[in-house]
Amino acid sequence: MEAAWVALLLTLKVAGWATALNLVLGVGVGFAMARLRFPGRDLLDAVFTLPMVMPPTVLGYYLLVLIGTHSAIGSWLNHTFGIRLIFTWQGAVIAATVVAFPLVFKAARASFETVDPQLEDAARTLGLREVAVFSRVSLPLAWHGILAGLLLSFARALGEFGATLMVAGSIPGRTQTLSIAVYEAVQAGQDDTANFLVAVTSIVCIAVLLAANRLVPGRVALRD
């Protein structure tokens, strides 16, 4: 059973980091896509949404090509900083981040689009710098929708299997997350371990979804 707790902690660590990265990336890209007008915007939106519809193994393969030890980025990271992403928990974070990204990005874009641009203009006429317009008007008004997206992405990252397996493998105690441990346990005929892991995963996911449902915009009557 101890192996199960190790896998749970690792999974929470990976999903936590992935969600933190997506908070920055998803909110940034979502805001840019909601406010900027430029040619190729629809195509870019499609590319950013791709991880939602593409098989995770295909994404994992792309990541291997992109950040693998023999790729330009991978060998640069390795030679300059001694960082290896393949078969490490950091690699699992990258995989989970990419797979869960569209959930934050989509929620952030939709939420920012509901913010009345007039309120941002009002803040400008009152002397606020652009960063402050974002942090004091746009972000607080879009926050509920973004938070719901973040929780969904956390749940998605918890259950990540395909891309993680491709990039990080299944090293017990190092890269073996819950969902991969379930697969390994079933393969090895360890039904007790599998049952336990499945129960733990289900409880965590239900808790996250309950929290996300409470935060869906519309529940909170902030706008007039």
Partner 1 sequence: MIWDVDLRQALVHDHSRFELDVRFVSDASRLVLYGPSGAGKTQTLKLIVGIARPDDGRVAVAGRAMYDSASRLFLSPQERRLGYVFQDYALFPHLTVRQNIAFGLRRGLLNPSRSFAAAAVERWVEAFHLESVMGHYPHQLSGGQRQRTALARALVNEPAALLLDEPFAALDKRLRQHLRDELKELQEQLRVPLLLITHDDEDLRVLAQEVVHLHAGRVAAAPPALEAAIAE
The site for partner 1 (CB under 8 A) is made up of 116, 118-119, 121-129, 131-132, 135-137, 140-141, 221-224
Q: Identify which of residues 2 and 224 has a Cβ nearer to partner 1 in the complex.
A: 224
Q: Which helix H or strand E contains 59, and what residues bound it?
A: helix 56-67
Q: Identify which of residues 121 and 191 has a Cβ nearer to partner 1 in the complex.
A: 121
Beta-carbon contacts of 180 under 8 Å, excluding residues fewer than 6 positions away, are: 7, 161, 164, 165, 170
Min separation Cβ 115 and partner 1, Å:
10
Min separation Cβ 220 and partner 1, Å:
10
Q: Identify which of residues 207 and 222 has a Cβ nearer to partner 1 in the complex.
A: 222
CA 42 to chain centre: 21
What is the C-alpha end-to-end distance of the chain, expressed in Å?
52
| Residue 174 token pair | 């190092």
Q: Identify which of residues 134 and 154 has a Cβ nearer to partner 1 in the complex.
A: 134
The answer to whether the CB of 7 falls within 8 A of the CB of 178 is yes
Min separation Cβ 217 and partner 1, Å:
13
Min separation Cβ 218 and partner 1, Å:
14
Q: Identify which of residues 70 and 124 has a Cβ nearer to partner 1 in the complex.
A: 124
Min separation Cβ 127 and partner 1, Å:
5
Min separation Cβ 143 and partner 1, Å:
9
d(C-alpha 101, C-alpha 98), whole Å: 5
The answer to whether the CB of 119 falls within 8 A of the CB of 137 is yes
d(C-alpha 219, C-alpha 173), whole Å: 41
> What DSSP designation does 39 have?
T
d(C-alpha 27, C-alpha 127), whole Å: 24
Q: Identify which of residues 148 and 180 has a Cβ nearer to partner 1 in the complex.
A: 148
